[in-house]
Amino acid sequence: MSGQPGVRDDAGIRRITLDRAEVANALTLDDLTVIESAARDLPDEIRAIVVLGAARKVFSAGMHVETFLNTPPDEGRALIERVGSCVGAIRLAPVPTVAVVEGHCLGAAFELALACDVRICSTAATFGLPEVRLGIPSVVDAALLAEYVGLGKAKEMILTGGIYPVESVPAIANAVVPAAEIDGVVEDMLRALTSPTREVVAAQKSLFETWLNVGLAEGIEVSKQVFGEVFALPVTQQAIAAYEAGRRRKA
């Protein structure tokens, strides 16, 4: 097999590359550890994370079937805790996360992509949660699917275990472009996502998590508290001043 996911930092961007082309970049438990560590251990200079498949023909087929075959029946909870910890690290990363999806994006890898803030897809991207075909439920960040496609479509996708071309579930993608154009679209998105201060992005991402997990009234109250804390930061005052100076120059 090829190696574990590659992790490379360049110009403030951390790229996590899924790299087992001979098995459609299927993931092992050790791979999950690498991905989770890359998402949690972020130097201050890292402004965004990109997750992509090696060779760009497939994102990932999800967990390697040998993982399920080799896990004793009474250790299923421990297995899915490993998956949840990895996917949760991507969802909760304090910087923007971008999944670059070409070809199949299935199972736990689909959950990983759903956990990312943005998904840039080629026209050949396909999505699916085939777990039911193995007799196991789709869990973890599959819970986010209804937020994107609606409850009815999410039930269809999960209960059939089918594979869906991106054009049939367009709400999953932030952009769908030919493969030849995908790198340029990703770079444009990264420039936009890394333009705000790292502090405000981290705060805003924490609020998205709050809004998903609490009621409206509590979410509003937490938002006001976070606003006050971020507003008081020196970097925020510098950003406001820089914005106003730029506005005046353009006037």
Which residues are annotated as catalytic? 111, 131
CA distance 103 to 154: 20
CA distance 155 to 214: 23
Cβ contacts of 65-74, under 8 Å, gap ≥ 24: 65/26, 65/134, 66/28, 67/27, 67/28, 67/29, 68/134, 68/136
Place of tokens 């070409």: 102
CA distance 119 to 185: 11
Residue 232 corresponds to which tokens in the numbers above? 């008081």
CA distance 178 to 6: 25
Q: Work out the angle between the directed axes of helices 198-213 and 216-231 (0-180°, nearest 10).
A: 170
Place of tokens 């106003």: 244
User: In Å, what is the CA distance from 122 to each residue of 35, 56, 144?
Assistant: 23, 10, 21
